[in-house]
Amino acid sequence: MTSTSQLVDRGRPVVVGLGHLKDRVALLGQGPVWSMRDAEVRQAVLDLTQLASQLASQVAALEVTLLAHARRTGAVEEVGATSVAAWWAHESRLTVVEAHRRVKHAVAVEDRHTEVGVALAAGGLRPEQARVVVDAVDALPDVVDPRVVEQARAHLLAEAAHHDARALRVLGKRVLDVVAPEVGEARLAQQLDAEEKAAEAAQRFTMHDDGHGRTYGRFTLPTWKADVLRKALQAHASPKRGCRGGGGGATPEGMGRAFGDYVTRYPVDKLPNAGGVSATVVVTMDHEALMGGLEAAQLDTGTMISPGLARRLACQAGVIPVVLGGDSQVLDVGRRRRFHSETQRIALGVRDGGCTTVGCDRAASWCEAHHEVPWSRGGGTSVDDGRLLCSRHHHLAHHPAYEMTHHPGRKVSFTRRE
């Protein structure tokens, strides 16, 4: 006589088998290892690695089968879910994006790439490699002959035995060079051109000050530009140049120091002008601090720095020291020139900080030097007789339809004349 449990096992082999597998893995995890000999430990590690790799592939193959079946039969409709991916993400705490990606992959394998599913089930193809093969073959042009598509898939599956997913993705981009050289080069050129344009459009750079003297950044660059940056930083981080403190070379610490050196040693004569002044940092300090005092200094960006760092910066190229109360350059050139000199522009930036119009937050580098008494009316070109105004407000300062009103703190405002 057949027992009820045997009927259940035959009726639901996947469900019951998964339950048994979970129990057995849990049991293995509870087993003592203290009595194992060294050779047994080494062999167990290798066996577990091989088992984990094989299980990952076979579990991925089963996931493909189950997800594709659930989508095909509408298995989640009775619980009111809008899609298999939405239900799966909610129940398993996967992200919605990840769930949709894996369901889409499962359907693609079941519908168009059965060979990939077979390779997964056999344990010889890793899940990430399977996604690379599917994506590479699906990205082939529609005009490619179906036989070429089959050859491309077979070629990538064979190469998966020798390459990881990253290297396989590179091979996938040029698979037509192998199976159809006559169309491969043209296709690759089009693909690279599209990728390069997308990468240029996606460039980003952000910095965040944590309020404790450190700034963190993130950036996105086209890979070729990142290669240029990496080569430059590696040159700065080279052990042959010597390193200050530990963590030199191509370590994260060494590359971090190299990036700092790269920024501070960039040739100032190569920097573009911004508002009539080269884009260099200005450090303002009292004469006493320069001579060894303890008073903090300030950069023109608003950042406060120690007097020791200020003294070091005052000796570096690319950093302009403005010493208050000590000897400095002559700032008032009177009637000898109409436009403010770079030295005067620096002094205006330090004093005004930016546009002096009430409510305007334009930085000094975006501003223009304005004569309080117009040059055409006998005014002189000096710091005392000048102020910073952004382009918009500088235009209003000379517009006959607007009147400029002076306020305390060197601020001005503009109103339209009646």
- Which residue(s) pair with 209 in the sheet? 215
Which tokens belong to 37? Answer: 């000999």
What confidence category does residue 135 fall into, taking pLDDT thresholds of 50, 70 and 90? very high
Residues 298 and 307: beta-carbon distance below 8 Å: no
Contacts 24+ apart (CB under 8 A), 74-81: none
Residues 272 and 279: beta-carbon distance below 8 Å: yes
Q: Which of 119-123, 144-148, 347-351 is the most confident on average?
A: 119-123
Q: What's the pLDDT tens digit per position in 284-339?
A: 665 555 555 556 666 666 667 676 666 555 555 455 555 555 444 433 344 344 45
Out of 147-156, 221-230, 369-378, least confident range: 369-378
Residue 43 is predicted with a pLDDT of 87
What confidence category does residue 350 fall into, taking pLDDT thresholds of 50, 70 and 90? confident
Minimal CA–CA distance to 17: which of 55, 46, 50? Answer: 55
pLDDT of residue 357 exceeding 90: yes
Q: What is the rounded distance in angstroms from the CA atom of residue 212 to the CA atom of residue 230?
A: 28
**371 versus 380: which is more confidently predicted?**
371
What confidence category does residue 379 fall into, taking pLDDT thresholds of 50, 70 and 90? low
pLDDT of residue 169 exceeding 80: yes
- Cα-to-chain-centroid distance, residue 304: 28
What is the full DSSP assignment across 319-353? EEEEEESS-------GGG-SSPPHHHHHHHHHHH-
The domains of the chain are located at: 42-199, 215-264, 274-324, 334-416
The model's pTM: 0.45
For residue 272, what is the DSSP state? P
Cβ burial of 83 (10 Å; 0-12, 13-18, 19+) is middle
Residue 284 is predicted with a pLDDT of 64
Tell me the CATH number of domain 334-416, given options 2.60.40, 1.10.30, 1.20.1070, 1.10.3470. Answer: 1.10.30
What is the full DSSP assignment across 103-160? HHHHHHHHHH-HHHHHHHHTT-S-HHHHHHHHHHHHTS-TTS-HHHHHHHHHHHHHHT
Q: What's the pLDDT tens digit per position in 270-279?
A: 666 555 444 4
